[in-house]
Amino acid sequence: MNKETEIIVAGSGPNGLAAAILLAAEGYPVTVLEAADTVGGGTRTQELTLPGFRHDVCSAIHPLGAASPFLSRLPLAEYGLEWIYPEAALAHPFDDGTAALLYQDLKQTAGSLDPSDRRPYQQLMEPLLGSWEELAEEVLAPIHFPKHPLVMARFGTLALRSATGLARSQFRGERAAALFAGLSAHSFLPLERPGSAAFGLILGLLGHVNGWPVAKGGSAAIPTALVAHLESLGGRIRTATPLRSVENCSPNAVFILDLTPRQALKIAGSRFDAEYRRRLEEYRYGPGIFKIDWALSGPIPWTAPGCRRAATVHLGGTLDEIAASEREVWQGKPPERPFVLVAQQSVCDPTRAPEGKHTGWAYCHVPNGSIFDMTDRIEAQIERFAPGFADLILARNTRDTAEIEAYNENFVGGDINGGVQDLGQIVARPVPGLHPYATSDRNIFLCSASTPPGGGVHGMCGYHAARCALERLRHG
């Protein structure tokens, strides 16, 4: 294949745009097709409640965006992307009116924990923090023989454990264990499941490495900057143009699909062999989310003062409470006291709301496909740690799993992670093999969160998929 080969990227989320940028930088003609009227995938910003209140439709906080080995190398600041760093990356409040806080400074974080756990927390994180660059190179890539085996051995002995097992063996008090449980719950896995600890370790490390920033003006600033950079390289974007099938396209075109297996089968399944189709059909999707956005008359009135320093707040109380909530989801039950992820971007980014007003953003995990209305349960958890919250609500917008999927077909059953991220489906994501981005058709590649390293705004799925495609383009 040569530089005249047409490359079509389906989907303009960060992964699709990352793939397009890498290929355009190599001189290939690239066109990105986006079904929606605007680019962004899970990184869009809209006025969902009242005029002047800018809400992140899906992704809101971006620890991996700022620390991504690929995105961080791009000149996105030239195109208006500005990261805002709250004083604390994360707050985790308790019923006694205090909170554990994740700061970039390791000792400052430890200082917010029970005295008995301050040294153990530092002993857990410090060795990994010192090897972050090597560790990021390993964990944000497909399965491979480690380039840094000692670093991966140290990480692996901890990461392969369950979140509950690691927390209970490492910490004696409630605060550190609860903080780690909330971090690990981003896995969408039962916290007793092996491998769930990996998510707590990575997200905790990211807080110490680079904080958990927000994009000034909204998450839409990320794809806006990526598109501008792509266009400077000669790439093209066509919105309101879904790729419905590859059959009517040039037989020599190369396709990079920022799609999960279910959508890839709809669009390109006829070109896959029977075995590959069967494996994609067996791909497993995980829990969904129920999401709420609020227009607020003032800042959320947290009892714990530390919560006012963070753009992200985890609500769920103790490790046992959070583990019970995640367990209920996997049992097919909407949790009675859900673990709630809250973002309050307007505390550090005043462009999100009219002067004196604020925005609120939150979701909880629910069974895949659930349409149970979690509004009261989510707001009860916020009221638990911020009495008077309900009095501030000017308007709200809610979305259940069906509405989440209607917004973006990649979010199957409300699953925003692109599929279960347990040990089995991390190793075989989306199917077993040494080249997870390649398909049985040599001109079709996958680059969504259903490929390694999985969910998150980092662009690394697209980066690795584009590198895989480049190998084919160069060597035929």
Residue 64 lies in a domain: no
Share of the chain above pLDDT 70, in %: 99
Peptide bond into 430 cis (omega under 30): yes
Residue 254 in any domain: the answer is yes
Q: What is the band of 476 on the pLDDT scale with cuts at 50, 70, 90?
A: low
Report if residue 233 sits inside a domain: no
289 in helix, strand or coil?
strand
How far apart are alpha carbons 393 and 450 in whole angstroms?
36
What does the alpha-carbon distance between residue 158 and residue 406 come to, in Å, rounded to a whole number?
Answer: 38
Q: What is the Cα–Cα distance from 153 to 14, expressed in whole angstroms? A: 30
- Domain end: 359, 387, 407, which one? 407
Do 452 and 418 form a contact (C-beta atoms < 8 A)?
A: no
CA distances from 66 to 117, 214, 313 (A): 29, 9, 19
Please report whether residue 264 resides in a domain: yes
Interval 322-350 mean pLDDT? 98
Q: In this predicted model, what pLDDT tens digit does every residue of 357-405 receive, in sequence order?
A: 999 999 999 999 999 999 999 999 999 999 999 999 999 999 999 999 9
pLDDT of the residue at 393: 98
Q: Which of 407, 431, 459 is the last residue of a domain?
A: 407
pLDDT given at position 413: 98
Range of the domain at 460: 7-35+241-284+417-475
- Rounded to an integer, the average pLDDT of 21-27 is 97
Q: What is the pLDDT of residue 1?
A: 46
Angle value at C-alpha 175, between 174 and 177, nearest 5 degrees = 70
Closest among 179, 60, 28 to 117, alpha carbons compared: 179
Number of domains in the chain: 2
Residue 50 CA to residue 44 CA, distance in Å, equals 17
Residue 344 lies in a domain: yes
Least confident of 20-24, 261-265, 433-437, 447-451: 433-437
Q: At what angle do helices 261-268 and 274-281 cross, to 10 degrees?
A: 150
Angle at 257 between CA 253 and CA 259, to 5 degrees: 155
DSSP β-ladder status, 254-257 and 444-446? parallel
| Residue 274 and residue 375 in one domain | no
Backbone angles phi, psi at 345, to 5 degrees: -60, -30
Name 435's Cβ contacts closer than 8 Å, sequence gap at least 6.
142, 468
Same-domain status, 279 and 291: no
Segment 212-228, tens digit of pLDDT: 999 999 999 999 999 99
CA distance 101 to 89: 8
Same domain, 375 and 443: no
Query: Do 384 and 427 fall into the same domain?
Result: no
> Could you tell me if residue 457 is inside a domain?
yes
pLDDT of 7 higher than 70? yes
Asked, for residue 51, whether it belongs to a domain, the answer is: no
| Strand residues in 358-420 grouped as ranges (E) | 358-366, 393-399
**End of a domain among 407, 428, 451?**
407
Average pLDDT over residues 185-207: 98
Q: Is the pLDDT of residue 333 over 60?
A: yes
Does one domain contain both 207 and 353?
yes
Same domain flag for 272 and 312: no
Is 185 part of any domain?
A: yes
| Cα 302–chain centre separation | 25
Q: How far apart are CA 132 and CA 139, in angstroms?
A: 10
Q: What's the pLDDT at 2?
A: 59
CB hemisphere CA count around 237 (13 angstroms): 25
One domain, residues 391 and 461: no
End-to-end CA distance of the chain: 6
Q: What number is the average pLDDT over the span 431-438? A: 93
Q: Looking at the whole model, is its pTM more than 0.85?
A: yes
Q: Are residues 255 and 402 in the same domain?
A: no
Q: Looking at residue 128, which CATH number applies to its domain?
A: 3.90.660
- What local confidence, expressed as pLDDT, does residue 192 receive? 98
The CA distances from residue 321 to 93, 239, 286, 335, in Å, are: 13, 44, 21, 10
Concatenated DSSP letters of 404-455: HHHH-TTSGGG-TTSS--SHHHHHSSSSSSS-TTB-SSTTEEE-STTSTT-S
CA distance 64 to 69: 9
**204 and 275 part of one domain:** no
Q: Say yes or no: 294 and 343 in one domain.
A: yes
**Token code pair at residue 410:** 């990649």
Structure tokens at 450: 């259903």
d(CA 359, CA 447): 32
Spell out the residues 6+ positions from residue 153 whose beta carbon is closer than 8 angstroms to its own: none
> What are the pLDDT digits (tens) for 232-283?
999 999 999 999 999 877 778 999 999 999 999 999 999 999 999 999 999 9
DSSP state of 360: E
Mean pLDDT for the chain overall? 96
CATH code, domain with 259: 3.50.50.60
- Please tell me whether residues 308 and 186 are part of one structural domain: yes
95 lies in the same domain as 207: yes
